Amino acid sequence: MPKAAISFWGGAREVTGACYLLEAAGKRVVVDCGMFQGCDDCDLRTHQPFPFDPKKVDALVITHAHIDHIGRIPKFVAEGFHGPIYATPPTRDLVALLLEDAMNFFKDASSALYRRVDLEDAMRQFVPLHYEESIALGEQLSLQLLPSGHILGSSFARFSLKKGSEERVILFTGDVGNDPSILIPSRASVIDANVFVIESAYGNKTHKHTVDRTLMLERAIEDVAARKGTLMIPAFATERTQELLHEINEMVLQKRVPEVPVFVDSPLAIKATAVFARYPEYYRDEIRELARRHPHLFEFKTLKMTASVEESKAINDVRPPKVIIAGSGMSTGGRILHHEKRYLGDQNSILLVTGYQAAGSLGRRLVDKAKEVRIHGEPITVRAEVRVIDGYSAHADEAQLMDFVNETRDRLERVFVVQGEPAAALGFAQTIQDRLGVPAIAPVYGERFEL
Ligand SMILES: [Zn+2]
């Protein structure tokens, strides 16, 4: 069998920092280049030089545009990586947007993770690769990106290693979607993988039965319309905002909700929506069909995108009822805070929480029914109603991950479980061993395995 080795430089018994080095057929390929997030020494670890020489890497493959998979790309280039960066076209566009936006969070030049010129250099190294297209990385090694069902353009990286008539397939999952998603296609089936490197963010969890989120959204709009309140929806700029816009657009078209002004008050979300609008070929079939008939999937007459600060401030002058979608998704910053400061004290208003809220975030305190919160140092008495659409996640849960691995059980030699908290990663590895009898481990940082 053709030989290969994988080493783990992030995402090892932790969710973030995804970065894996595949050595095969004389080539060195890195999969993902993410930032470490959410731990005490994460900033330090993100800033450390790469533990292997970027100059000696032949190619970088990016599975999808989330910061914990892309955040260190410009740094990788700054440290000497000159090779091609393979990703789908929407991933490339979202990477450009998110890494540009991330620069706003560098406090000063000395603490910056990368310079603008590094980002520009990195963007020039991108080589777009559509789903299913195959590209040769060497005489015996080829790469294919397949839909992973997680976010727009997200993919599995499937490596095929061939020697004579023998073939070995190594699959890096990136993040696996929670099927079905609203806008994007379901994940591909992979029945011929010999080695899996699989995520496990929800590797030991079962998603709660998903409530009808569309119905909850519809009710919330109807209720603020009746009460003349403001509906605040903190949302992530990519994916969630576009899903909401598509759903509201449908409701407006079908006259299921009263006509109320809807604002997308986030420059990043506005730009991300433009990326979504550019790639209908990356939607699921029924949405692509819909987009053919109604080319303005994310636009409707009561919608206003407020990019500038002046436009954003002018939202205050619009009398309720109104709907405001803004970041950040966990109310930890961004323009949503201005609206929360203004309307959380209003008993006619509703805060609709649609995503995961990390411990310690303002979003979590509101979900936990805090009576008083501080925003920009000002105390606010919470009188608005807080509603939560839960059970919603862009990640596959344990059963979905297991189904995925199970599809390839006949050929499977071993499984590496990554991108989960220790309990999730170790738990899922154990489940695979128990159910399939295939060696499965959750590697630790820096571990290297010959295949
Ligand atoms: Zn992701």
- 1, pLDDT greater than 70: no
- Please give the distance, rounded to the nearest whole angstrom, from the Cα atom of residue 327 to the centre of ligand 1: 17
Residues 6+ apart with CB under 8 A from 359: none
- 211, pLDDT greater than 70: no
- Please give the distance, rounded to the nearest whole angstrom, from the Cα atom of residue 64 to the centre of ligand 1: 7
Alpha-helix runs per DSSP H in 201-264: 213-227, 240-253
- Please give the distance, rounded to the nearest whole angstrom, from the Cα atom of residue 63 to the centre of ligand 1: 9
Enter the pTM of the model.
0.94
Same domain assignment for residues 186 and 323? no
**pLDDT tens column, 217-229:** 999 999 999 999 9
The stretch 201-207 carries a mean pLDDT of 90
- Output phi, psi for 250, to 5 deg: -60, -45
> If you search the block for the tokens 């319309």, which residue do you land on?
225
Residue 161 maps to which CATH number? 3.60.15.10
What confidence score (pLDDT) does residue 210 get? 60
Q: What residues have a C-beta under 5 A from ligand 1, the ion?
A: 66, 175
Same domain assignment for residues 411 and 374? no
| Structure-block tokens of residue 8 | 């783990």
Cα torsion angle, 86, 91, 96, 100, sign: negative
Same domain assignment for residues 180 and 252? no
- 2, pLDDT greater than 80: no
- Please give the distance, rounded to the nearest whole angstrom, from the Cα atom of residue 157 to the centre of ligand 1: 14
283 closest CA partner among 327, 239, 325, 218: 239
- Residue ending a domain, among 355, 388, 421, is 388
CA distance 388 to 194: 41
- Residue ending a domain, among 343, 361, 388, is 388
Same domain assignment for residues 222 and 185? no
- Please give the distance, rounded to the nearest whole angstrom, from the Cα atom of residue 419 to the centre of ligand 1: 10
- Please give the distance, rounded to the nearest whole angstrom, from the Cα atom of residue 301 to the centre of ligand 1: 32
Tell me how far the alpha carbon of residue 175 is from its chain's centroid.
8
363 closest CA partner among 333, 342, 391: 333
- 275, pLDDT greater than 70: yes
Percentage of residues in the chain having pLDDT higher than 70: 99
| Structure-block tokens of residue 352 | 């609709």
The stretch 191-208 carries a mean pLDDT of 93
The stretch 311-321 carries a mean pLDDT of 97
Same domain assignment for residues 333 and 252? yes
- Please give the distance, rounded to the nearest whole angstrom, from the Cα atom of residue 249 to the centre of ligand 1: 26
- Please give the distance, rounded to the nearest whole angstrom, from the Cα atom of residue 389 to the centre of ligand 1: 20
- Residue ending a domain, among 349, 369, 388, is 388
- Give the number of residues written for the chain: 451
Q: What angle do CA 189, 194, 197 make, to 5 degrees?
A: 75
Residue pair 293/283 in contact by the 8 Å Cβ criterion: no
Alpha-helix runs per DSSP H in 294-353: 309-314, 336-343
Same domain assignment for residues 259 and 322? yes
Same domain assignment for residues 116 and 222? no
- Output phi, psi for 277, to 5 deg: -65, -25
- Please give the distance, rounded to the nearest whole angstrom, from the Cα atom of residue 320 to the centre of ligand 1: 35
- 213, pLDDT greater than 80: yes
How many structural domains comprise the chain?
2
Percentage of residues in the chain having pLDDT higher than 90: 87
The stretch 40-49 carries a mean pLDDT of 93
- 335, pLDDT greater than 90: yes
Same domain assignment for residues 357 and 436? no
The stretch 143-155 carries a mean pLDDT of 98
CA distance 222 to 216: 10
What confidence score (pLDDT) does residue 208 get? 74
Same domain assignment for residues 44 and 191? yes
What confidence score (pLDDT) does residue 111 get? 82
Same domain assignment for residues 198 and 253? no
- Please give the distance, rounded to the nearest whole angstrom, from the Cα atom of residue 311 to the centre of ligand 1: 31
- Please give the distance, rounded to the nearest whole angstrom, from the Cα atom of residue 17 to the centre of ligand 1: 11
What confidence score (pLDDT) does residue 394 get? 87
The stretch 427-448 carries a mean pLDDT of 97
**How do strand 155-163 and strand 166-172 relate by DSSP bridges?**
antiparallel
The residue range of the domain holding 306 is 213-388
CA distance 71 to 88: 17
- Please give the distance, rounded to the nearest whole angstrom, from the Cα atom of residue 148 to the centre of ligand 1: 10
The stretch 407-425 carries a mean pLDDT of 96
- Please give the distance, rounded to the nearest whole angstrom, from the Cα atom of residue 175 to the centre of ligand 1: 5
- 391, pLDDT greater than 80: no
| Structure-block tokens of residue 125 | 């190294």
The stretch 83-93 carries a mean pLDDT of 98
Same domain assignment for residues 166 and 251? no
Same domain assignment for residues 325 and 446? no
Residue pair 196/415 in contact by the 8 Å Cβ criterion: yes
- Please give the distance, rounded to the nearest whole angstrom, from the Cα atom of residue 152 to the centre of ligand 1: 10
Residue pair 259/304 in contact by the 8 Å Cβ criterion: no
- Please give the distance, rounded to the nearest whole angstrom, from the Cα atom of residue 89 to the centre of ligand 1: 16
Task: Provide the mean pLDDT of the chain.
Answer: 94
What confidence score (pLDDT) does residue 209 get? 64
- 384, pLDDT greater than 90: yes
Q: What DSSP character marks residue 75?
A: H
CA distance 444 to 451: 17
- 107, pLDDT greater than 80: no
Residue 317 maps to which CATH number? 3.40.50.10890
- Please give the distance, rounded to the nearest whole angstrom, from the Cα atom of residue 223 to the centre of ligand 1: 33
**pLDDT tens column, 72-82:** 999 999 999 99
- Please give the distance, rounded to the nearest whole angstrom, from the Cα atom of residue 66 to the centre of ligand 1: 5
